[in-house]
Amino acid sequence: MRRSLPIALLVLLAATASAQSPPSEARIKADAREHVAPGATDVTIRGDGERQLNRGVYQYARAITIHVDHPEIEGVRVERYGDIIYDSHGSRYTYTDFRPSSWRYFGLPDPTREEVLAAIEMSPADAFPHGTLDLPLGAELREGEETYWHSLESVSVPVRLTYTQYATGNVAPGELADFATETVVRLRREEYGAPWTSIDMDGVQSTTEEIGRRPGEEGIPTLKDKVRYLEAQAVAAALPQVEAPPFASDAEMGAWIYEQFRSTTDRAMLEASIRAVLPADAFVEGFEGVLPIGKQMWIDELVNTLTRGDATFAELSCPAPALDSEYYRRNGQRLRYPTILTARGSGAAVLMVEAQQESGGYRNGQPVLGRWVVRDINAWTRASDDDIAWLRSFDDTSSICAPAGQAASEQARETSGEAQSGARDAVEGAVREGRRRLGRIFGRGD
């Protein structure tokens, strides 16, 4: 006997199936026009959609493309890409949101070849890959490839770039490698119809091939290095003009640096004074006034030390530089200027200068030494809040500074006393050991 399902059960199954069915495509298009883009000319459904759990609520997401005409520019249409979202409430789906992902504009006039190449030439460091050297470059549009307009002010253009980098691997020093890449650059402007003002790599996956190798030389700057050098050159040109006099000795140069550091807390003046005593080879060749980034960071940190804190080097140092002659005797061309506040018995500031003489070429076939310059400068400041308050209570701080020779010797004793004591103990121990061994040889004692 054939049995049939109860009518009530059939109704329940049908209702359940209906409750689990996502919104139809017709409904999605209608909701997009009603809630997202009332003026849409078309809505395209993409993909199959999926259920998601978002903060405890089940949702249904469906990818769609909304086509609209631009409201102000005739002939231009916009495609908006994103997901339309529905919340699931039992047997009902309710429109909740539209999550846009991107836009694309159609009907805009593409930039000309001349405009694209001019934008690349204006800022090659932003258009070419990282590590590209400042050598001849090549750029051309890829014929037959579409542009991608992100907005009225931004468009991506397919291009073919040729450039040079240093070869890698087991290669000769300075060996060059030439490359060609098919990639995309992105142009930007301030407003619709305005000139293009910037360019960068779009981030689209590129196809790159090495097209040759050739001998080269080391030290060629990259495009990005050149940009930094030109910016640094402009900054250096704006610094005050400080010219160091010809020094008869390293000590004379050290005293001049000491006085420069005491005479001002202006950062630009301090940096200019440091630059004035640097050797010529400290600067980047071909870029006047430009220092390698490590050397510039050293100057910045030194200037910070001279000017930072509750009291500056100028406040904590004494008018007369106190050269530590014992330190100089032991270390040669390393000048140390400690400052001692006699009534406090503690060091407040220390300046150390490592000097050298540049090569002055030759005279009668013999090498001649040139001007005195610095290899290194270090400065330290140390003072408690009470020291600073006490120091600032004087109208003339020279009265509380030890005489130059005394300051140097006191500071030397303060910093080297422990080491000298250790050395003395070591010598006395060696003498006792020698006497003990002699006693053994002659049969006297252990």
* pLDDT tens column, 158-215: 999 999 999 999 999 999 999 999 999 999 999 999 999 999 998 787 899 999 999 9
pLDDT band at 340 (very low <50, low <70, confident <90, very high): low
Q: Which amino acid is at 339?
A: T
Burial string for 334-349 (b: 16+ CB within 10 Å, else e) reads bbbbbbbbeeeeebbb
* 138-141 vs 148-151, strand pairing mode: unpaired
- The reported pLDDT for the residue numbered 438 is 34
- Whether the pLDDT of residue 414 is over 50: the answer is no
Start-to-end C-alpha separation, the chain: 122
- The reported pLDDT for the residue numbered 56 is 87
All domains of the chain, ordered by start, with CATH?
18-106 (3.10.450), 113-220 (no CATH), 230-424 (no CATH)
> What's 36's DSSP letter?
I
Query: Mean pLDDT over residues 17-46, rounded?
Result: 88
Query: Mean pLDDT over residues 54-70, rounded?
Result: 94
- The reported pLDDT for the residue numbered 122 is 95
pLDDT band at 344 (very low <50, low <70, confident <90, very high): low
- The reported pLDDT for the residue numbered 402 is 61
- In sequence order, which residues have a C-beta less than 8 Å from that of residue 20 and are 6 or more positions away? none
- The reported pLDDT for the residue numbered 389 is 83
